[in-house]
C-alpha cells in the first residue's frame, strides 16, 4: 500500500491510500480532472450571467439608481466572459476571473446598499470558491471579499433600529460558511478521487491488456518472420557453403598457380645470374668485369625478392594460423645458434664486423621446432648486420629461471624510444639505409615475434640512440617426459586450453603441413615421433592427437597415466612417397633451386665414368638452367631431355638413365602420373627420381587411406555420438554408380 496523491475536482490535493503496484499514468487522470472542472465551471458561468441579468432587471423595476447596478452587471458579464473563454486552456485564470468578478460585484452592491443583507450574499462567493479552487486560494478569496465588504460597512456607519453587522461578525459568517462547505464536500471529494483512481486503474488495465494483445500479435508475426528468415538464411548458408567450397578450391588452385608462376621465373633469373656471377668458367669464356658486376647485382636483388616473397608467405601463414611447428627435443647451441651464425657469417665478414658467441654451458634441451627457431634468430641477426656499420654483433644464450634467453646485441645506431612500440609491426622500418643491400621488407622482426610466440615464448628489445640495440627472446623449458606430473588445474582452466590446438605425430613434415592447410580454426603442432607426446600434451592441452595406426597404441599407453581424456585419431596419413616405392623419390627440390642443394643430392647418385640424367621439364629455359648447373659440377654428366611425361617414357624406353629430374606440373602427363607409370614398369621402378618443381609438397593432391579410428577412454553420450555420426556423414557423401540398364536406356 502506498500513498496516492489524487487532485480532487475542486482543485485541492488529497492523499489516498491505495495499492499502486501497477500505477496508472498521471497524465490521463489530470486530463479527466481538467474536463470535470471545466464541466463544473460552465454552469457556474451561466448562473452568474443569469444572476447579473436578474439583478439588473430587478433594479430597473424598482426604480433604483442604475449607475452602480450597471457597473455590477458589467463586472459580472466581463468575468463570466473571461472564464468561459479561458476555461479549458487556463482553468485557474478563468476561476480567479469569475471569483474576483463575483467578489467585486458583491462589493459594489454592499457599497450601494450598505444597510441591506447584501453582505450576507458573500457566503455564495465563498461556497463557489470552495467548489472551484483549493483551500488556500479559497481562503485568499474569502479574505479579499471580507476586506471589501468590511470597508463598505464601516464607511456606511450604523443605522438606528437595526442590528449592526460588524467586520468580526462578517468574518465569522464567511469562515463558518467556508468550513461548513468544506466539511460537506469532503466525502464527495474523497469519493470522486477514489472513483477517478479506480477508473484510471481500470483504464490502465485495459490499455495493458491491449498492449499485451498487441505484443502477442507482434510476437506471433515476429515468430513467423523469424521462421521465414531462418529458412531463407539456411538456404543462403547452403549457397554460401557451396560458394565457400568453390572459393577454397579456386584459392588452392590460385596459390598453386601463383607459386609455380613466381618460382619458375625466379628460378631462372636466380640460377643463371648465380652461375654467371659465381661460376663464369662454366661458360668457357670469361665475362668482362663490368658484366660480372652487373650480373652480380641482378643475382643479389633476385635473392632479395625471393627472401621477401618467403617472408610474405610466412607472415600470411602465421596470420591464418596455418604455420605448423615440428617440435622435437633440440640442443639450442648446435641446432639453432650455430646454424644461424654460420648462415649470417658471410654478410658479417663482408661488412668487416665481428661476430661473437657467448653461450652458457648448462643450456638444457628445449622442445621446439629447430627450423622455425633458427629462422627467428636468423631474422634478428640479419637485422643487426644490416644496420651495423662498425663494431660487431654478440649472440648470448643462458638459462633464466624456467626459460632459455637468447639475445642479439649490436653496436649500430640504436633506435629512438618512440619507435620501440612499433618495432615489431609488419612493414615498419625505423632506419632508411642508403644501400639496397641493407634494406629489408619490414617483416623480419614481425615474423620473428610470431615464431617465438608460437613456441610460447616472448620477445622484447632494449635500445638507446647511439648505443646500439639488443633483442631478447625467451623459450620456455619443458621438463622431460619422466618428470611430468599430472596437471592440477580446474575444469574451466583446462577447458580454456582445449580449443585451438591439434597435435600431429608423424615423421613427415610435409604431411603435417598438408593437414594444417585443411584443418581450419586449429593450430597444428607436429611431432616426429611419440617421445615427447606427454610433455606437449601437458603444455598445449590439444583438442586431439592425430597419428598413424602403428603409433596410436604406444601414444595411448603414454597418455594413460594422465588424468586427461584426449581423443586419439588414427589414420594412414600421406607421405611424399606414400603411393610410390620408397627408393624411387630421393629428393624434393622447390624452385628456385640452388646448385648446392642439387649437388648434395647428385653426389650420392653419380656413376662412373659419367652419370646419365634425364631432365623432364616442359619449360626449355628451366631445363637449360638445370643442364647448366649439372655441367658446372666437377663430375661429368650426360644430359637427356623430355618436355613432358609421355616423351620421358619414350626416352626411357630407348635408354635407361641413372637419375631422373622430374617436374610435377606438365602438359599431357604430369610428374605424378609419370612416376606411377615408372613404378608399374619393373625396368624403371628402381630409377631414382629427384622432384624439381615450383609446387610445394603441401600443394599436392594427398589421399588419406582408411581405416580411420578414434580412441576415447570414456564413453560418450548418444547426443555426441550422433553429432560425430552426422559430421562423418556430411564429410563422406556416398558415390552411387549409375546402373548399367539406366545408362543404356539413357543412351538409347
Lowest mean pLDDT across 106-115, 145-154, 413-422: 106-115
User: What is the band of 4 on the pLDDT scale with cuts at 50, 70, 90?
Assistant: very low
pLDDT at 104: 81
User: What is the band of 8 on the pLDDT scale with cuts at 50, 70, 90?
Assistant: very low
| 503 and 472 within one domain | no
User: What is the band of 19 on the pLDDT scale with cuts at 50, 70, 90?
Assistant: very low
Tell me the mean pLDDT in the region 627-646. Answer: 89
Judge residue 612's burial from the number of C-beta atoms within 10 Å of its C-beta, 0-12 exposed, 13-18 middle, 19 or more buried. middle
User: What is the band of 255 on the pLDDT scale with cuts at 50, 70, 90?
Assistant: low
pLDDT at 722: 83
Q: Given the DSSP bridges, would you call strands 354-359 and 392-400 parallel, antiparallel or unpaired?
A: parallel
Query: How many whole angstroms separate alpha carbon 363 and alpha carbon 357?
Result: 14
**Domain final position from 554, 574, 594:** 574
Using DSSP, state whether 462 is helix, strand or coil: strand
pLDDT at 647: 92
Which residue has better confidence, 513 or 257?
513
**Per-residue pLDDT for 76 more than 70?**
yes
396 is a domain residue? yes
pLDDT at 21: 39
Range of the domain at 74: 2-205
User: What is the band of 737 on the pLDDT scale with cuts at 50, 70, 90?
Assistant: low
**Radius of gyration of the CA atoms of the chain, in A:** 51
**Domain final position from 161, 178, 205:** 205
Strand partners, 354: 392
673 is a domain residue? yes
Using DSSP, state whether 165 is helix, strand or coil: coil
| 362 and 403 within one domain | yes
Tell me the mean pLDDT in the region 446-462. Answer: 89
- Judge whether 412 and 388 are in contact, CB under 8 Å: yes
Alpha helices in 25-164 (DSSP H): 26-62, 66-85, 91-112, 122-132, 135-156
| 79 and 39 within one domain | yes
DSSP code, position 716: -
| 379 and 315 within one domain | yes
Residue count of the chain? 748
747 is a domain residue? no
- Total count of domains within the chain: 4
Tell me the pTM.
0.50
739 is a domain residue? no
Tell me the mean pLDDT in the region 560-587. Answer: 71
| 167 and 25 within one domain | yes
Q: Tens digits of per-residue pLDDT, 162-216? A: 455 677 777 888 888 888 888 887 787 778 778 777 777 887 888 889 888 888 9
- Judge whether 525 and 536 are in contact, CB under 8 Å: yes
Which residue has better confidence, 255 or 734?
734
247 is a domain residue? no
pLDDT at 613: 93
Using DSSP, state whether 30 is helix, strand or coil: helix
Closest CA relative to residue 71, chosen from 41, 109, 35, 33: 109
pLDDT at 53: 78
| 179 and 36 within one domain | yes
CATH of the domain at 464: 3.30.565.10
| 127 and 12 within one domain | yes
Using DSSP, state whether 563 is helix, strand or coil: coil
pLDDT at 37: 66
Query: How many whole angstroms separate alpha carbon 689 and alpha carbon 683?
Result: 14
- Grid coordinates representing 333 are 647451441
| 45 and 141 within one domain | yes
Closest CA relative to residue 597, chosen from 365, 298, 270: 270
pLDDT at 572: 74
- Grid coordinates representing 662 are 622430374
Q: Tens digits of per-residue pLDDT, 477-497? A: 865 433 333 333 333 433 334
Range picked from 31-40, 437-446, 618-627 for highest mean pLDDT: 618-627
Handedness of CA 380, 381, 386, 391 (dihedral sign): positive
- Judge whether 115 and 158 are in contact, CB under 8 Å: no
Judge residue 507's burial from the number of C-beta atoms within 10 Å of its C-beta, 0-12 exposed, 13-18 middle, 19 or more buried. middle
CATH of the domain at 569: 3.40.50.2300
pLDDT at 487: 35
User: What is the band of 319 on the pLDDT scale with cuts at 50, 70, 90?
Assistant: low
Closest CA relative to residue 385, chosen from 416, 326, 421, 345: 345
**Domain final position from 450, 479, 508:** 479
Q: Tens digits of per-residue pLDDT, 598-635? A: 888 888 888 888 899 999 988 888 888 888 888 888 88
Which residue has better confidence, 111 or 555?
555
Q: How far apart are the first and last CA of the chain?
A: 91
Q: Percent of the chain, pLDDT > 70?
A: 76
| 449 and 315 within one domain | yes
Tell me the mean pLDDT in the region 133-149. Answer: 82
pLDDT at 580: 47
Q: Given the DSSP bridges, would you call strands 403-410 and 392-400 parallel, antiparallel or unpaired?
A: antiparallel
Query: How many whole angstroms separate alpha carbon 51 and alpha carbon 42?
Result: 14
Q: How many CB atoms lie within 10 A of CB 241?
A: 10
Q: Tens digits of per-residue pLDDT, 325-378? A: 777 788 888 889 998 898 888 888 888 899 999 988 888 888 888 888 888 998
Range picked from 427-436, 457-466, 738-747 for highest mean pLDDT: 457-466
- Judge whether 108 and 72 are in contact, CB under 8 Å: yes
Query: How many whole angstroms separate alpha carbon 604 and alpha carbon 711?
Result: 43
| 583 and 567 within one domain | no
**Per-residue pLDDT for 574 more than 80?**
no
Segment 492-497 long-range contacts (CB within 8 Å, at least 24 positions apart): 494/541, 494/564, 497/540, 497/541
| 151 and 8 within one domain | yes
Range picked from 183-192, 430-439, 606-615, 725-734 for highest mean pLDDT: 606-615
What is the average pLDDT score of the chain? 76
55 is a domain residue? yes
Handedness of CA 273, 277, 283, 287 (dihedral sign): positive
Alpha helices in 481-589 (DSSP H): 491-498, 509-518, 533-540, 549-559
746 is a domain residue? no
388 is a domain residue? yes
- Grid coordinates representing 493 are 582452466
pLDDT at 321: 60
Q: Tens digits of per-residue pLDDT, 266-292? A: 777 888 887 787 777 777 777 777 777
| 462 and 392 within one domain | yes
DSSP code, position 280: G
Amino acid at each position: 500500500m502506498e500513498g496516492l496523491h489524487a487532485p480532487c475536482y475542486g482543485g485541492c490535493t488529497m492523499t489516498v491510500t491505495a495499492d499502486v503496484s501497477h500505477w496508472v499514468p498521471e497524465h490521463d487522470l489530470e486530463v479527466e480532472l481538467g474536463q470535470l472542472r471545466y464541466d463544473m465551471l460552465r454552469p457556474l458561468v451561466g448562473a452568474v450571467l443569469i444572476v447579473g441579468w436578474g439583478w439588473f432587471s430587478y433594479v430597473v423595476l424598482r426604480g433604483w439608481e442604475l449607475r452602480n447596478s450597471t457597473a455590477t452587471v458589467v463586472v459580472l458579464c466581463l468575468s463570466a466572459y473571461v472564464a468561459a473563454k479561458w476555461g479549458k486552456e487556463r482553468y485557474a485564470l478563468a476561476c480567479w476571473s469569475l471569483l474576483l468578478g463575483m467578489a467585486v460585484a458583491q462589493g459594489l452592491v454592499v457599497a450601494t446598499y450598505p444597510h441591506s443583507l447584501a453582505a450576507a450574499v458573500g457566503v455564495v462567493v465563498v461556497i463557489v470558491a470552495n467548489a472551484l479552487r483549493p483551500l488556500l486560494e479559497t481562503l485568499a478569496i474569502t479574505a479579499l471579499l471580507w476586506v471589501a465588504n468590511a470597508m463598505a460597512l464601516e464607511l456606511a456607519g450604523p443605522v438606528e433600529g437595526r442590528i449592526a453587522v460588524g467586520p468580526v461578525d462578517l468574518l465569522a459568517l464567511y469562515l463558518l460558511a467556508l468550513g461548513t462547505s468544506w466539511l460537506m464536500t469532503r466525502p464527495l471529494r474523497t469519493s470522486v478521487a477514489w472513483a477517478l483512481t479506480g477508473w484510471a486503474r481500470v483504464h490502465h488495465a485495459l490499455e495493458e491488456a491491449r498492449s499485451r494483445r498487441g505484443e502477442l500479435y507482434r510476437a506471433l508475426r515476429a515468430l513467423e518472420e523469424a521462421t521465414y528468415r531462418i529458412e531463407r538464411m539456411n538456404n543462403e548458408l547452403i549457397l554460401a557453403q557451396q560458394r565457400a567450397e568453390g572459393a577454397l578450391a579456386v584459392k588452392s588452385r590460385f596459390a598453386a598457380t601463383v607459386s609455380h608462376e613466381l618460382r619458375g621465373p625466379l628460378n631462372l633469373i636466380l640460377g643463371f645470374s648465380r652461375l654467371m656471377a659465381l661460376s663464369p668458367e662454366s661458360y668457357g669464356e670469361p665475362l668482362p668485369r663490368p658484366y660480372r658486376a652487373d650480373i652480380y647485382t641482378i643475382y643479389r636483388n633476385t635473392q632479395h625478392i625471393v627472401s621477401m616473397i618467403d617472408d610474405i608467405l610466412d607472415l600470411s601463414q602465421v596470420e591464418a594460423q596455418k604455420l605448423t611447428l615440428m617440435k622435437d627435443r633440440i640442443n639450442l647451441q648446435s641446432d639453432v645458434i650455430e646454424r644461424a651464425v654460420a648462415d649470417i657469417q658471410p654478410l658479417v665478414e663482408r661488412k668487416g664486423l665481428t661476430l661473437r658467441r657467448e653461450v652458457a654451458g648448462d643450456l638444457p634441451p628445449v622442445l621446439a621446432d629447430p627450423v622455425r627457431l633458427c629462422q627467428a634468430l636468423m631474422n634478428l641477426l640479419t637485422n643487426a648486420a644490416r644496420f651495423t656499420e662498425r663494431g660487431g654483433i654478440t649472440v648470448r644464450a643462458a638459462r633464466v629461471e624456467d626459460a632459455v634467453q637468447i639475445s642479439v646485441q649490436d653496436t649500430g645506431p640504436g633506435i629512438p624510444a618512440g619507435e620501440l612500440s612499433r618495432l615489431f609491426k609488419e612493414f615498419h622500418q625505423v632506419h632508411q639505409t642508403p644501400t639496397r643491400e641493407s634494406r629489408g621488407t619490414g617483416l623480419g622482426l614481425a615474423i620473428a615475434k610470431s615464431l617465438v610466440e608460437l613456441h610460447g615464448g616472448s620477445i622484447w628489445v632494449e635500445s638507446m640512440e647511439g648505443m646500439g640495440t639488443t633483442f631478447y627472446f625467451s623459450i620456455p623449458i619443458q621438463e622431460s617426459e619422466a618428470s611430468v606430473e599430472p596437471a592440477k588445474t580446474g575444469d574451466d582452466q583446462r577447458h580454456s586450453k582445449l580449443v585451438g590446438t591439434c597435435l600431429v605425430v608423424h615423421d613427415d613434415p610435409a604431411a603435417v603441413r598438408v593437414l594444417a592447410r585443411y584443418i581450419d580454426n586449429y593450430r597444428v603442432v607436429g611431432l616426429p615421433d611419440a617421445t615427447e607426446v606427454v610433455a606437449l600434451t601437458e603444455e598445449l592441452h590439444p583438442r586431439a592427437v592425430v597419428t598413424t595406426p602403428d603409433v596410436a597404441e604406444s601414444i595411448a599407453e603414454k597418455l594413460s597415466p594422465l588424468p586427461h581424456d584426449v581423443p586419439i585419431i588414427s589414420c594412414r596419413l600421406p607421405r611424399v612417397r606414400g603411393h610410390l616405392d620408397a627408393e624411387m623419390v630421393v629428393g624434393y627440390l622447390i624452385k628456385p633451386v640452388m646448385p648446392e642443394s642439387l649437388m648434395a643430392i647428385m653426389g650420392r647418385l653419380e656413376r662412373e665414368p659419367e652419370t646419365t640424367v634425364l631432365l623432364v621439364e616442359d619449360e626449355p629455359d628451366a631445363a637449360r638452367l638445370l643442364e647448366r648447373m649439372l655441367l658446372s659440377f666437377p663430375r661429368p654428366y650426360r644430359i637427356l631431355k623430355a618436355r613432358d611425361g609421355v616423351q620421358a617414357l619414350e626416352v626411357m624406353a630407348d635408354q635407361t638413365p641413372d637419375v631422373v629430374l622430374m617436374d610435377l606440373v606438365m602438359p599431357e602427363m604430369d610428374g605424378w602420373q609419370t612416376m606411377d607409370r615408372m613404378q608399374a614398369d619393373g625396368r624403371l621402378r628402381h630409377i631414382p627420381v629427384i622432384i624439381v618443381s615450383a609446387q610445394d609438397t603441401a600443394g599436392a593432391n594427398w589421399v588419406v587411406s582408411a581405416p580411420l579410428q578414434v580412441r576415447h577412454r570414456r564413453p560418450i553420450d548418444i547426443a555426441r555420438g550422433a553429432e560425430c555420426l552426422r559430421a562423418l556423414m556430411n564429410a563422406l557423401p556416398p558415390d552411387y554408380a549409375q546402373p548399367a540398364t539406366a545408362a543404356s536406356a539413357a543412351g538409347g
